[in-house]
Structure 1
Amino acid sequence: MREEARQHRIMVAAFEGWNDACSASTNVIRHLLDAYDSKDVGSIQGDGFYDYQMSRPMLCHVQGRRRIIWPEAKFYEVSVGEGATLLLEMGPEPNYRWSEFCRQSIHMAEDYEMDTIITLGSMFADCPHTRPLPIDDLEGDQDLSDTDGHSGPIGIPTVLDALASQDGYRTDSVWVSIPQYLGNDECAQGTLQLLRRLSAALGVDLAEGDLPRKAEEWKSQASVLLHCNDDLANYVHRLELDADAKAMGADGPAGDTPTGLELVKEAEEFLRSMGGDQDRADQ
């Protein structure tokens, strides 16, 4: 990320769903809201943007009264230090009218005089939990004709980056890769690495709270699977060799190993069996 963004007012956006493997990116927003005083400053209402069969409204009880919570994107203003004011956006990825949704997001950035927009995302990938998780830092205002970048399906962060860049904003998109063999449990390590990258962009030491401890617990739990599943251990060892080779600028080794998707099911079955054994032990 660029040095000049450090002293500016920055909007940070993360969206639940396809762009949010293991909730790693939206948990950055939740962490900041827990760590700092914040002010709820607005929302993008769900009507017209969400398929309520995909993002269902929630029923809750407040002081004995029933209340329906509709899907929406919410905005919060947070001061994290001198010269560093954030406008945080979080909500489910919309199902419809992405351009209009992003225009409303950009209007919020205009209203609160933001000059940089950073989107956060997380994706499943073939990477080992025993190494730092891969981080992709993509400047949204780069030449879109660059064929060395990503090609394929995109999510709402990419659209928001593109439209904001067209409107003259500095934009960055930061993504962390999550080991796909670990399933859908929250990944504190991914959240911690995104938070640290955001901290570097702001030039502010953001409070990490208990994220480092949770990240170590996540690694320890992942390592338990390797001790109980030889195929998974061999697969992760292969990923380690690939990661180390790439870190040294060499091509990783090739060979036939079980795929991450195949091993996800094995890992989930093992965790279920562990839960069943614990239930029987408690009886």
Structure 2
Amino acid sequence: MQDPTELFQFETDASLSAEDVNASVLVLALGGFVDAGHTQRLLTEHVLEAHESRVIASFDVDQLLDYRGRRPPMVFDRDHWESYADPSLLLYRVIDREGVPFLLLAGPEPDYQWARMAEAVMILIRALEVELTVSVHGIPMAVPHTRPLGFTTHGTNPRLLSGNETPFGTVQVPASFSAMLELRLGEAGRDAIGFAVHVPHYLGQSEFADAGLLGLQRIIAATGLDLDTTALAAAAGRDRAEIARQMEQSDEISAVVRALEQQYDTFLEGRRHRSLLATDLSDLPTADEIGAEFEAFLKDVADEGDDGDDGREVGGRGGEDGPQG
């Protein structure tokens, strides 16, 4: 393995000292295989906007990213190239509302050199005296948005998982860098915890601020950090209002959601099903049918174009799909 320390460099600010960079908590926001509802991206953007932060280190993305696999955007203005969106993978030192610092590692998930990148992060964790590493992302689930969102907790130490209930048994899934890093941290005897927020699968491609809000609340509960949730909570309220408005215009969509509500309530009561992932869906619409119904409805709304609708996806502000860990 090449020297992992050559993957990152600290900022050359002479005023930085160990006290300026050390922190007990590291939050990972490195994308991955899936991030339903753009959960991780929403809470990461919110944290950086709502709190004081500074970049203390950066990673050499040229060694880590496949540019042709996910081409960075450029702006062409009439007869010349105006700008290029340089990808960046940055380590921030963020200050909560009580003045407590924590670290946030944010950027695209590495395409290459996972083992070397994991060792580089672990070197930083040791050097900066991190005691707990935390991650959040969203996963699509057959649940209605009209019920409280659930989440699955995973971690490296059973004491971090007290009271955790999960609908999952043993499953094999595609790896993400954050998941692999959590595994390596556990093997090294270090504490790490992650939260997979259960996002209604028909909202998985939209920005669903309720999922980001729940993810942020789980970080607060796990770390004791005093983080501002105001703007994200307001965005979640706007999302719920927009979803309700669109449901009022479609009896078919309302019927689909009611079916999911019945399935969800039956699962909770434990009368028929042991797992949301092993339930008899013979009398309920499939995920594809739900998605097709929503897409058809949104197309009708866009075609009408005279009712003040802004053409956004169900779930609020829309946005392109992105990866998660």
Give the Cα–Cα distance (whole angstroms) in 2 for the partners of residues 99 and 268 of structure 1: 40
Q: Contact 2:156/2:190 (CA < 8 Å) preserved in 1?
A: no
- What is the aligned partner in structure 1 of residue 256 from structure 2? 235
Structure 2 residue 116 is the aligned partner of structure 1 residue 89:
no
How far 1:85 sits from its partner (Å)? 2.5
Among 25, 29, 34, the residue aligned to 2:44: 29
CA distance in 2, matches of 1:83, 1:202: 14
Mapped pair 1:49 → 2:73: no
- Seen in structure 2, the aligned counterparts of structure 1 residues 66 and 105 have a Cα distance that, compared at 3 Å, is farther
**AA matched with 2:153:** D
**CA–CA distance in structure 1, aligned partners of residues 307 and 223 of structure 2:** 50
> C-alpha separation between the residues in 2 aligned to 1:216 and 1:280?
21
Q: In structure 2, how many angstroms separate the alpha carbons of the residues matched to 1:32 and 1:92?
A: 17
Matched residue, 1:106: 122
Change (3 A) 1:131 1:117: same
Select between 75-84 and 20-29 the one with higher mean Cα deviation: 75-84
**Mean CA deviation greater in 225-234 or 111-120:** 225-234
**Cα distance, 1:78 vs. partner?**
0.9
Conserved? CA contact 1:178–1:190, under 8 Å: yes
Q: Identify the match of residue 182 of structure 2 among 153, 161, 175.
A: 161
In the alignment, which residue of structure 1 is the partner of 2:207? 186
* Gapped regions of structure 1 (runs ≥ 5): 1-7
Q: State the Cα distance separating 1:206 from its structure 2 match.
A: 1.9
Q: 1:201 to 1:173 in 2, by over 3 A?
A: same
Change in Cα spacing, 1:274 to 1:84, as seen in structure 2 (3 Å) is: same
The corresponding residue for 1:78 is 94
Q: 1:237 to 1:115 in 2, by over 3 A?
A: same
Matching residue of 2:236 = 215
The equivalent residue for 1:272 is 299
1:17/1:228 CA distance change after superposition, 3 Å: farther
Quote how far apart the aligned CAs of 1:18 are: 2.6
Distance of aligned partners of 1:208 and 1:71 in 2 relative to their CA distance in 1, 3 Å threshold: same
TM-score (norm 2): 0.74
The 8 Å contact of residues 11 and 117 in structure 1, kept in 2 or not, is answered as yes
Deviations 1:81-113 (A, max 9, x none): 558421101112222222222222222323322
Query: TM-score, normalised to structure 1's length?
Result: 0.83
- Equivalent in 109, 130, 134 of residue 118 of structure 1: 134
Count of aligned pairs between the two proteins? 270
> Residues 262 and 92 (structure 1 numbering): CA distance in 2 closer, same or farther, change over 3 Å?
farther
Q: Distance in 1 between matches of 2:177 and 2:306?
A: 42
The CA distance in 1 between the partners of 2:266 and 2:155, in whole Å, is 26
> Which SS does the other structure have where 1:92 is aligned?
coil
Asked whether the 8 Å contact 1:129–1:222 carries over to 2, the reply is no
Q: Is this contact kept in 1: 2:28–2:134, CA < 8 A?
A: yes
Residue 257 (structure 1) aligned with residue 284 (structure 2): yes
Letter in structure 1 aligned against 2:133 = I
Q: Which residue of structure 2 lines up, in the alignment, with residue 140 of structure 1?
A: 156
Q: 1:41 to 1:58 in 2, by over 3 A?
A: farther
User: Which deviations, in whole Å up to 9, do the C-alpha atoms of 1:62-95 show, x marking residues without a partner?
Assistant: xxx9554433321101121558421101112222
Matches for 1:1-12 after TM superposition, within 5 Å: 9-12=24-27
CA offsets, 1:100-139, max 9 Å, x none?
2222222232332211111111111211100111211111
| 8 Å CA contact retained: 2:153, 2:195 | yes
Q: Given residue 31 of structure 2, which amino acid in structure 1 is its aligned partner?
A: E
Alpha-carbon offset, residue 187 of structure 1? 0.7
**Within 2, Cα distance between the matches of 1:70 and 1:240?**
44
User: In 2 relative to 1, CA 237–197 (structure 1 residues): closer, same or farther, beyond 3 Å?
Assistant: same
Describe the superposition over 1:224-268 as per-residue Cα deviations: whole angstroms up to 9, x where unpaired. Answer: 343344443233222212222333344348432221222213312
